[in-house]
Structure 1
Amino acid sequence: MPPDHAGTAPTLIGSVQRAMRLLEAAASHPDGAPPKQLAREAGLALPTAYHLLRTLTYEGYLRRRKGLLVLGGAAERLGAGGARQSRRGTIDEALAHWHELIGVPVYFAVYREGEIELVSVADSPDNPAVEEWADFKETGHAHAIGQCLLSQLGTEARRDHLDRYPVRSLTRYSVRDDRTFLRRLDAVERMRPVVEHQEYALGTVCAALPITVGDTAATLAISVPSHQADRLLPAVRTLQRELGKLLGTLTFSISI
């Protein structure tokens, strides 16, 4: 297909437009609506509306309930995806704000379904994030993000994680074995920042703040070059203050 030229109107697919109007009409009736009403609200002739409604129902975007049409699973998945994107945007904006304010890379991660998931990072060429040279999911024992997340788990969940991802030394500063690492997790004070010095990457020190909502463990983390280690704790204190301002929004976003 040749590219659109400036000033050229886009080619619109009428059947898609009509189907979307029907879906919008159905979405405005949580308890469902009859086909004739949806056709009327979408401004479509009945034969056209019936054909499109049958197709949308077959594809799972609509479903029948006691003679009425309501949104189906496919449409609900689209809506859920949009909500996740919106919440992800909220996280990205918050991290970008904190990165600009504090002048350090800021990370947001969660522990979901037995895995460490790095959700978002805000950095810049002048203050770059730590390069993921060893898989973050497999090396939670070595970085502040993983240590903070695992410290929020129960004993059984910690052991399960280490059964799948045993401790291995990444640098000369890394913890050496599972037993030592579990003792360290036991010593972490509840809801206190976790700090690690060059355990994941030489030349980098990191700190992570725990965020727990229900059964979900999450963390905000920062990193600085080791020769600027004196910046770490002041940056943590600033992030703690800032986190308090947006905690409600951020904790809502943990479900993404």
Structure 2
Amino acid sequence: MTELGAQPLGGHRNMLDKALDLLHAVSVDAAGRQAAELAEECGVPLSTAYRLLTSLTQRGYTVLDKRTRRYTLGLETFVLGQTVAQARGLTGVARPILEELAAETGEATLMAVLSGSHQLYVHYVRGPHSVSVTGSPGTLGPLHCTAQGKVLVAMSSEKTQRHLVDTLDLTAFTAKSITDRAEFRRELTKVAQQGWAIADEEHEVGIRAIAAPVMRDPVPLARAAISIAAPAFRATVDTLHRWLPALQDAAQRISLVMPME
């Protein structure tokens, strides 16, 4: 066996090596990368890169944004990552903290990471009430109208944030959704300054949420975001503010135990 990117015996990379090199190159930029850039970095002909990326996309390991022509990691990589994380005990380190937070607030808690032009839900703990916000790990959600999404964009690298602000489809899910790019930039500046975000019925009518980043020094970037989400009839914006200290404490605790690289 050889390490990813290493030269196999005989001096020639086989197609599997090339595919793995491409997959690894896709993973380094959450905003996605185009085929020509990937081919150049991995040292493969563009035609070969297209062929391998097409296969990876068909199998669900990469996703092609047809508008930007950028490739990002697909859900199959999430499934593999979850399997490895479970085997190494990493999946469990965040969940107990999210369970404690759900018990303390009485509402659902979620965790997400940035995946291309979406957020990818990786953890969900249901609240104790019969009426509770639901979530499904492994599914994708929008960035511009959710608390977690705003945090992930606001606290991403300058390059990633600029790309997302310029290219995201700012769909109006509700009358409160942000649909103007200038307004979105202002919201992200506010989120970055205060260190948390609120979504006030912006994605779904009747749902409010507050989110905070999971960060690892010395890089001041969000590796993930966690949130508390609740029905609007049970949680006012003031209620969300009261939950903020507990939310930030949970995010800090996760950052201390969760391997981020």
Q: TM-score, normalised by structure 2?
A: 0.57
* Partner residue in 1 for 2:170: 167
User: Which letter does structure 1 place at the counterpart of 2:244?
Assistant: V
Q: Secondary structure at the match of 1:205?
A: strand
Bigger radius of gyration, 1 or 2?
Answer: 1
Flag the 1:131–1:216 CA change in 2: closer, same or farther, 3 A.
closer
Structure 2 matches for 1:104-119, cutoff 5 A?
Answer: 104-112=107-115, 115-119=118-122
What pairs up with 1:101-140 in 2 under 5 angstroms?
101-112=104-115, 115-124=118-127, 126=129, 128-130=132-134, 136-137=140-141, 139-140=142-143
Q: Structure 2: which amino acid aligns with 1:120?
A: H
Structure 1 Cα separation of the partners of residues 191 and 250 of structure 2: 23
Structure 2 match to 1:40: none
How far did residue 144 of structure 1 move? 0.5
SS of residue matched to 1:201: coil
Question: Partners of 1:239 and 1:102 in 2: how far apart?
Answer: 9
CA–CA distance in 1 between the matches of 2:110 and 2:185?
A: 24
**Which residue number corresponds to residue 239 of structure 1?**
247
Amino acid in structure 2 at the alignment position of 1:81: V
Residues 47-62 of structure 1: pairs in structure 2 closer than 5 A: none
Mapping 1:66-145, distance limit 5 Å? 81=84, 86-112=89-115, 115-124=118-127, 126=129, 128-130=132-134, 136-137=140-141, 139-145=142-148
* Distance change >3 Å, CA 179–CA 102, structure 1 → 2: same
Structure 1 vs Structure 2: percent identity of aligned residues? 18
The offset of 1:247, in angstroms, is 3.7
Over residues 204-250 of structure 1, what are the superposed CA-to-partner deviations in whole Å (9 max), with x where a residue is unaligned? 11111122223553211111222221421222222223444454113
Compare 84-93 and 241-250 and name the one that shifted more. Answer: 241-250
Of residues 231, 247, 257, the one that matches 1:249 is 257
Secondary structure in 2 aligned to 1:141?
Answer: coil
Answering whether residue 198 of structure 2 is matched by residue 195 of structure 1, we say yes
In the other structure, the counterpart of 2:225 is 219
> CA 1:242 to 1:83, structure 2 compared with 1: closer, same or farther past 3 Å?
closer
TM-score w.r.t. the length of structure 1 is: 0.58
CA deviation digits over 1:107-148, x for unaligned, max 9?
A: 11122566522110111461522468xx744x2101101001
